[in-house]
Amino acid sequence: MQDKIDKRDRAAQFRLRLARAMEDRNVSQSALARQIGVDRSTVSQLLTDEGARLPNAHVVGSCASALGVSADWLLCLSDRPESAAELLASSLTMAEAPRALVDERIFEWHKEAAGYKIRYVPATLPDMLKTRMVLEWEYAPHLGRTADQAIGASADRLTWMRSAQSDYEIAMPLYEIDSFANATGYYEGLCPKIRLEQIDHLLALCQQLYPRMRIYLFDAKRLYSAPVTIFGPLLCVFYAGSHYMAFRDRDRIETFTRHFDTLVREADLTARDFPDHLRQLRAAISGSLPTE
């Protein structure tokens, strides 16, 4: 839409959009006049006046409210007829985030974005890349007897990811993989055998899935990111612990895509460097084990 528009053209567009909104909602001139508190002749003039004059703000606002559109759209200041509240409701949704491996909503978002690039900042190591032993250590205390079923479903998700024709870019803070390897912080108490198996699993996945899956490590002392997944141009989803916040409006998706691209561009270790870093961590774990 043009930044500047002639007053006469704007007035003509106002008449066209007002008529369109009335037609779409099957509202007659008389009915609109009653709803906005003016004479029928006033509405007729709004629709037929050939001049460059626009109605006052009160009349424009009243028409917009009565017809369920935005005043900005009637005045050609927006290409979207929805009101600001409707736009927000459609562009932002919140959903509960269960403490579970298998979240059907997340899986549906992945399937919706099949074929697009999916950018992902996980809260820990990505669940879909974890070994069964790590998943059992992490989730069995919370899931109890359902852990086996959930872990099997998680393996199915990885199988699906491999065949989905989506590119996956994963950006993690460097300390996350280092904390895992050293069994510190979140991973305290994780035995060396499980850590070595997980690193071997990651190395195998990097070899099998590169370049469709690329993992970057950034320095959290310089850069920060909340856990977020950006599903191509379709939506971006923040993980807030107990809930997901999902945005579908183009501007926010582009903003957070640029944020993710910054994490990748300024990563200390690129996807090509990641396997070598894993091998160094593996060697350090092996070297710390007591000799028999």
Torsion angle defined by CA atoms of residues 194, 197, 199 and 201, in that order, rounded to the nearest 10 degrees: -130
Does the reported pTM lie above 0.85?
Answer: no
Write down the H helix ranges in the chain: 7-24, 29-36, 40-48, 57-67, 71-74, 84-91, 104-112, 132-143, 147-163, 174-182, 192-209, 250-265, 274-288
Q: Which helix H or strand E contains 247, and what residues bound it?
A: strand 243-247
The beta-carbon contacts of 159-162 under 8 Å, at least 24 apart in sequence, are: 160/110, 160/111, 161/110, 161/128, 162/208, 162/209
**How confident is residue 105, by pLDDT bands cut at 50, 70 and 90?**
confident
pLDDT tens track for 249-286: 888 899 999 999 999 999 999 999 999 999 999 999 99
In this predicted model, what pLDDT tens digit does every residue of 25-56 receive, in sequence order? 899 999 999 999 999 999 999 998 877 788 88
pLDDT digits (tens, 9 = 90+) for 161-189: 777 778 999 999 999 999 999 999 999 99
Mean pLDDT of 115-139: 90
**Highest mean predicted confidence (pLDDT) among 27-31, 71-75, 238-242, 273-277:** 273-277
Which residue in 153, 164, 156 sits closest to 109, CA to CA? Answer: 164
Determine the pLDDT at residue 2.
44
